[in-house]
Each structure stands twice: as structure tokens, then as C-alpha cells.
């Protein structure tokens, strides 16, 4: 015969396991709350189901599996990691890598075209009008800011 202290300890263990599982299960009616926090009828029934399963000797994994089978994968806050979720999590990295690759390729093409034009100039190969315009854009220094500075000096009295 079990003593009162042993029964109390077992009840505390069952309660702790039930609360832990309940915090990781989404309320199917509320959606944004766990069944531990929700007061919806379905949440109360699920909490009772979890406690019954624990008292029947089921492991946490078996209880999660049963809930997932009955209510779908969305009932769990931590879905299992498979090929579909991996693709979902890795797709931003793939897109960022593709964008970075395109950007690097266009930068390389711009630089290589300028280098080819410069080599052609050195070799004496005539440039096309578009190449001449590009070379002038690259080689022409930006306009100086001297007029703006002199205007500021006159205005501020310096």
C-alpha cells in the first residue's frame, strides 16, 4: 500500500508533465494560446485527455504523436523537422544567395567591360560611341563643391 507522501509525489509528477505538454500544444479554437492558458472547452478537454494518457502510462512522445494524429501537425508549437520545413527555413538563404550572386556577376561584368575598353584603347582599337561615352563618364571627375562652399562662407560671414 502506498503512503500518502508517495501518492502526493506521483500526483505532482503527473501534474508537472501535463502542464509541460499543455504548454507545447496550441489551442485549436483560440490558435494563439496554448491549451494551458486557454479556457476554451476544447482546451479543457485536451488537458484532461493529456492527464488521462499520462496516468495510463504513455510517454510524452506518444501523447504528442496522438495529438498530432488527431488534430494535425499545427496543434504542436514545435513542428517536426522534415524536408518541407527545411525548405521553408532555408528558402530565404537561397534567395539571398541568388541575389548576391546576380549582384556580384553584374559588378564583375561592369569592371571587366571597363578593363577591356581600357586595353582596347592602349592597343589602339577604336572605341564605339557608347564605349566612348562610358569611358568619359568613368574618367570625368565629379563637379567640385567650391561654389557651394563659397556661398556658405559669404552667408555665414566666414
pLDDT of 90-145, one tens digit each?
Answer: 899 999 999 999 999 888 776 667 777 777 778 888 878 887 787 778 778 777 66
How many angstroms separate the CA atoms of 25 and 70, rounded? 13
pLDDT of 8-26, one tens digit each?
Answer: 888 888 889 999 888 888 8
Q: Look at residue 156 and tell me whether its pLDDT is greater than 70.
A: no
How many angstroms separate the CA atoms of 92 and 104, rounded? 18
- Above pLDDT 90, what percent of the chain? 13
pLDDT of 65-76, one tens digit each?
Answer: 998 888 888 788
pLDDT, greater one: 78 or 46: 46
For the entire predicted model, the pTM comes to 0.50
Q: Look at residue 148 and tell me whether its pLDDT is greater than 60.
A: no
How many angstroms separate the CA atoms of 34 and 15, rounded? 16
Q: Look at residue 77 and tell me whether its pLDDT is greater than 60.
A: yes
Closest CA to 127 of 138, 117, 119: 117
Amino acid at each position: 500500500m502506498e503512503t500518502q507522501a508517495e501518492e502526493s509525489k506521483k500526483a505532482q509528477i503527473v501534474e508537472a508533465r501535463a502542464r509541460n505538454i499543455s504548454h507545447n500544444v496550441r489551442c485549436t479554437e483560440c490558435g494563439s494560446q496554448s491549451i494551458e492558458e486557454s479556457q476554451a472547452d476544447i482546451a479543457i478537454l485536451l488537458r484532461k485527455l493529456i492527464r488521462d494518457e499520462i496516468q495510463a502510462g504513455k510517454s510524452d512522445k506518444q501523447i504528442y504523436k496522438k495529438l498530432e494524429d488527431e488534430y494535425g501537425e499545427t496543434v504542436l508549437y514545435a513542428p517536426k523537422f522534415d524536408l518541407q520545413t527545411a525548405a521553408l527555413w532555408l528558402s530565404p538563404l537561397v534567395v539571398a544567395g541568388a541575389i548576391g550572386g546576380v549582384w556580384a556577376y553584374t559588378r564583375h561584368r561592369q569592371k571587366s567591360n571597363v578593363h577591356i575598353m581600357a586595353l582596347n584603347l592602349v592597343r589602339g582599337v577604336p572605341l564605339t560611341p557608347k564605349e566612348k561615352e562610358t569611358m568619359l563618364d568613368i574618367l570625368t571627375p565629379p563637379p567640385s563643391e567650391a561654389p557651394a562652399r563659397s556661398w556658405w562662407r559669404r552667408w555665414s560671414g566666414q
